[in-house]
Structure 1
Amino acid sequence: MITSIFSKSQPINFIIVFFITLLAFVVGRLGLPTEHFTALFILEELGLFCVCYASILLVNFIVSKNSLSRKSNYEILLFSLFLFTLTQTTSNINILFSNFFVLLGLRRVISLRSQIEVNKKLFDASFWFAIAALFYFWAILFFLLILVSLAFYNDIKINHWVIPFIGAATVFIITSGISIMLYDSFFDTFKSLPEISLNFNSYNSAAYIVAITILLSFGIWSSLYYINSIKEKKKAFRVSFKSILVSAIIAGVIVILAPVKDGSEFLFVFAPLTIIITNYIEIIEDKWFREIFLAVLFILPFVLLLL
């Protein structure tokens, strides 16, 4: 049932995903302190929801534009289900915006495949990653994705290795300039600073343990098949698939380093993980196993609501 609906790209898929995302967004706010329902408050919440849903649409664009799947919509379904599984990912405003800018940067990195306007794409990618780091410092680790991708392409042009640093420096200079004008200080506009915490006690609850175990198990299992399938892809597309895997690893490192571990940090993992799992789902030959695989992910959020 689920596989038959999302195995092809069609408008109803986006409607279903919209309501799953909306449900995840609402549930994620039930435990948060609420303000008076003023017009401004409602507009702010609508804006944040739009960022959540726009992130899903952006993942769909990246996948379809770069042929990272077989024209299915599993990636948007999985993203919305992951949001519903860990609803805390919808509650941190800075991470929501940071992840959105990371996706904009990821889009430019993946588009290097065409080898058209490489200088512009490298600048754009580093620019977006640097902006993402303004909202959440450790998002700057995605800058490494640019360098790793250049290495995958065996790019030896010096300017291609220099431009990403220029893009990041541009954001730093502009932000510092604004900070000096507004606060007479270099760093007051920087929202996030490099802090680290290796204390995972906040994950010590039934809901977290079940959610993280399922997502980690499915992710690792799918990654084994994903890695093996890369060599079967067309040569021009292999770097794109490798870049997705690298971005998943970087996102995992961010989760480990996150100074505040409230679940929202897992948002960075969702985009690459959905693409990896989507590729695995598409190669499953037994329809019943594919249905069970998706059914577990579909039922999981509702089970967690009871824990």
Structure 2
Amino acid sequence: MLANFFSKSKPVNFVVLFLLFLVYFGITLFLKNISFFSAGKEVFLFVVVFSIYNFIILKNEVTFDNSFAFLFYVILIGFFIKYIEINSIFYANLICLLLFRKAYSIQTSKKVYQKLFDAGLWLGISFILEPYTFIFIFLLYIAIYLHNQINYRTLIIPVLGYLVPVFLYYAYCFWYDRTEQFSSLFSWKIVFDYNLYSSRNFLFSIFFIGIFTFLSIILKSPRTLSILNKFRKNWILILVHLILSGVVFLQVPERTGVEFMYLLFPTSVVLANGIELIKKRWLADIFILLFLISSFVLVFA
């Protein structure tokens, strides 16, 4: 039943999945004894996040014509909803979604230079909020390579876009004598303190999601990579995206749990492609129910 409902992309699916998010969010607020009406800003920001995410999925053929990716994106947020805060990491992730939107849309030949400049611009803004997101510049250049858009202009334009917000931020810091604040953006330190993730909830989430993501990659990749088409290129880009997101995730210095949001985009797309391989709908329903039940158990845990 669930698999049939989400097997097609329909406007009602967005409403249903947003209501599912509100259930996760409402339970979390209740457990923290916070009024739902005082969380209007958070709800609005998640509407923006969901809208951008859904737009990327629908416009760029990273899955078939269904809502499985959006479904898993919301469920994965449910896994970590207790730890998601509206801070610089959250805003950097939101800006990165705008960057991903441009990176995945390079597959079409319309306004490529403008898309690359905009992508560089969003990268510069996310870099100011969270310097380690600069790693996503590799996603942009790999997209350029995969979609045969390489020339000297496409190589330079993203850098020019990136420099615009970075230069403006430098001018601001220089004017107010805060150049040390600007210099700190380039002071990267590798942090290996992952004690936060040793808790039972985090360990379960990491292994549970990780196992199904790995299985989806193993099962989907052989048949996808054997066919020369647009989806093959998108699948490679998704896998690269997952790896780069993992690198960013591991390098974020302040660990609270919100950093898992960097992983949710590529992970949800991989899981969606995995469930598309299941021919029997009852088995797909079990797959979805496993994720739903696990996420709600963790919300209450």
Superposition TM-score, scaled by structure 2 size = 0.90
**Are 2:224 and 2:232, in contact at CA under 8 Å, matched by a contact in 1?**
yes
Q: Distance in 1 between matches of 2:182 and 2:20?
A: 35
Provide the residue aligned with 1:231 in structure 2.
225
Q: Distance in 1 between matches of 2:25 and 2:300?
A: 17
The alpha carbon displacement at 1:253 in A equals 1.1
| 2:14 maps to amino acid | F
**Are 1:104 and 1:128, in contact at CA under 8 Å, matched by a contact in 2?**
yes
The alpha carbon displacement at 1:92 in A equals 4.1
Provide the residue aligned with 2:5 in structure 1.
5
The alpha carbon displacement at 1:232 in A equals 5.5
The alpha carbon displacement at 1:207 in A equals 0.9
The alpha carbon displacement at 1:15 in A equals 2.1
Q: Distance in 2 between matches of 1:299 and 1:189?
A: 45
Q: Once the two structures are aligned, what percentage of the paired residues are identical?
A: 24
Return 105-114 or 232-241, whichever deviates more. Answer: 232-241
Provide the residue aligned with 2:200 in structure 1.
206
The number of equivalent residue pairs is 299
Q: Distance in 2 between matches of 1:33 and 1:247?
A: 37
Provide the residue aligned with 1:292 in structure 2.
286
Cα gap change, 1:94/1:251 in structure 2, threshold over 3 Å: closer, same or farther? Answer: same
The answer on 1:105 being equivalent to 2:114 is no
Q: Per the alignment, in what secondary structure is the counterpart of residue 116 of structure 1?
A: coil
The answer on 1:73 being equivalent to 2:67 is yes
The answer on 1:83 being equivalent to 2:77 is yes
Which deviations, in whole Å up to 9, do the C-alpha atoms of 1:61-104 show, x marking residues without a partner? 11111122221111121111111111145314212211111111
Provide the residue aligned with 1:20 in structure 2.
20
**Are 2:117 and 2:160, in contact at CA under 8 Å, matched by a contact in 1?**
yes
Provide the residue aligned with 1:277 in structure 2.
271
The answer on 1:196 being equivalent to 2:193 is no
**Are 2:81 and 2:299, in contact at CA under 8 Å, matched by a contact in 1?**
no
Q: Distance in 1 between matches of 2:45 and 2:204?
A: 27
The one of the two structures with greater contact order (alpha-carbon pairs below 8 A, sep at least 6) is: 2
| 2:140 maps to amino acid | I
After superposition, residues 152-191 of structure 1 pair within 5 angstroms as 152-181=146-175, 183-186=176-179, 188=181
CA RMSD in angstroms, aligned pairs only: 2.5
Cα gap change, 1:100/1:177 in structure 2, threshold over 3 Å: closer, same or farther? Answer: same
Superposition TM-score, scaled by structure 1 size = 0.88
| 1:13 maps to amino acid | N
